[in-house]
């Protein structure tokens, strides 16, 4: 009887292990499903008035934290809008995501932050991304991620919302402006634009890798105020073949513009200051750590050695 119970218990354990392995295999298969296999959404997804958590194929809206995670989103609709966001939203990109709409692929309605390691491909008839806000308080920031925009109108358009591109990669192909807004700043980002870039306020480009081509033949960079360039080399011309470096970044026009970042972050020692490189701090900290470890470990080893020696003496005395 005891032997039967033992076998029964062993069989139960094997069943549990098998179930666990099957669960792990299923999870791995689900994770391996490509984003393109996500269910296609054929109507507008509007979160502009969200009041609770909302989930759908490829997206999850966390209402408490005002955070939208996109992971394999695939909206393909004949509606005017593809995705509408609420004010004060944070969008996190995971995996490959696509939105296609007849008028605007993605509509923001106030301050929005985009980040993540995923991609977002937008296709639309009037604007890939439209930044909307009835006031002038809205601010949209791109911190990271990869964006591909195809538009028969403007790539990114804003009437009153300020636009800050502070990271990420952009590939914009438009029949109108690639980027147009009251305030446009591009910092530490990579932007390739088919279409001019316009900012009513000063157009700021800092340490960015930019290539812009005006399809109308007008200037690739346009502003209602002034240009503010820093930490870049600037090349301009009628086209890519005739572009030449602009001395002192004094841009005076050109249908083709290219910039290369020049800023190299230099880190110096916190301990020693001056021009001592930062790696010296790591060496000092590692040395100090090794010293502390030795201070603790050596007495313990000596104590253990004495203990073992005393134990041998006691055994010999018996």
CA–CA gap between residue 131 and residue 123 (Å, rounded): 16
pLDDT at 237 exceeding the cut of 90: yes
pLDDT at 173 exceeding the cut of 50: yes
Region 245-259: mean pLDDT is 95
Count CA within 13 A, CB hemisphere, residue 291.
6
94 vs 277, residue with greater confidence? 94
211-226 pLDDT tens trace: 999 999 999 999 999 9
| pLDDT score of 270 | 61
Q: Identify the weakest region by mean pLDDT among 27-36, 58-67, 142-151.
A: 27-36
Domain coordinates of the chain in residue numbers? 1-32, 38-261, 269-318
Read off the tokens for 311: 């134990």
| pLDDT score of 64 | 97
| pLDDT score of 36 | 43
For residue 150, give every residue at least 6 positions away whose Cβ sits within 8 Å of its Cβ, in sequence order, or none: 121, 122, 123, 124, 128, 173, 174
For residue 67, give Cα distances in angstroms to 36, 91, 114, 120: 23, 6, 10, 16
Read off the tokens for 123: 């296709």
> Among candidates 87, 29, 38, which has minimal Cα distance to 58?
38
Q: Is 18 helix (H, G, I), strand (E, B) or coil?
A: helix
Which phi and psi (to 5°) does residue 278 adopt? Answer: -65, -30
86-101 pLDDT tens trace: 999 999 999 999 999 9
Under the banding of pLDDT at 50, 70 and 90, the label for residue 309 is confident
Q: Identify the weakest region by mean pLDDT among 124-128, 185-189, 260-264, 282-286.
A: 282-286
Read off the tokens for 307: 């203990």
Under the banding of pLDDT at 50, 70 and 90, the label for residue 109 is very high
pLDDT at 117 exceeding the cut of 60: yes
CA–CA gap between residue 20 and residue 22 (Å, rounded): 5
Angle at 115 between CA 104 and CA 131, to 5 degrees: 30
């Amino acid at each position: 009887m005891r032997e039967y119970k033992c076998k029964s218990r062993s069989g139960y354990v094997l069943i549990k292990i098998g179930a666990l392995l099957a669960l792990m295999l299923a999870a791995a298969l689900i994770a391996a499903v490509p984003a393109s296999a996500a269910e296609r959404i054929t109507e507008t997804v509007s979160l502009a008035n969200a009041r609770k958590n909302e989930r759908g194929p490829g997206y999850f809206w966390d209402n408490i934290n005002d955070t939208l995670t996109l992971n394999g989103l695939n909206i393909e609709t004949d509606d005017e809008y593809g995705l509408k966001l609420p004010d004060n939203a944070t969008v996190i990109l995971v995996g490959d995501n696509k939105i296609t709409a007849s008028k605007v692929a993605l509509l923001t309605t106030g301050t929005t932050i985009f980040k993540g390691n995923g991609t977002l491909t937008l296709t639309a008839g009037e604007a890939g991304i439209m930044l909307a806000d009835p006031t002038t308080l809205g601010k949209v920031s791109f911190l990271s991620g990869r964006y591909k925009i195809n538009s028969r109108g403007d790539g990114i358009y804003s009437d009153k919302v300020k636009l800050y591109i502070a990271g990420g990669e952009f590939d914009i192909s438009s029949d109108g402006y690639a980027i147009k807004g009251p305030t446009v700043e591009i910092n530490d980002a990579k932007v390739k634009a088919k279409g001019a870039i316009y900012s009513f306020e000063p157009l700021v480009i800092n340490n960015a890798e930019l290539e812009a081509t005006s399809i109308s033949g007008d200037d690739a960079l346009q502003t209602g105020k002034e240009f503010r360039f820093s930490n870049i080399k600037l090349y301009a011309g009628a086209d890519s073949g005739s572009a030449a470096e602009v001395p002192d970044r004094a841009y005076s026009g050109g249908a083709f513009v290219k910039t290369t970042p020049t800023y190299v972050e230099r880190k110096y020692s916190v301990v020693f200051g001056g021009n001592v490189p930062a790696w010296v701090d790591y060496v000092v900290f590692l040395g100090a750590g090794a010293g502390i470890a030795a201070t603790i470990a050596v007495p313990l080893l000596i104590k253990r050695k004495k203990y073992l020696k005393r134990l041998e003496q006691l055994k010999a005395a018996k």
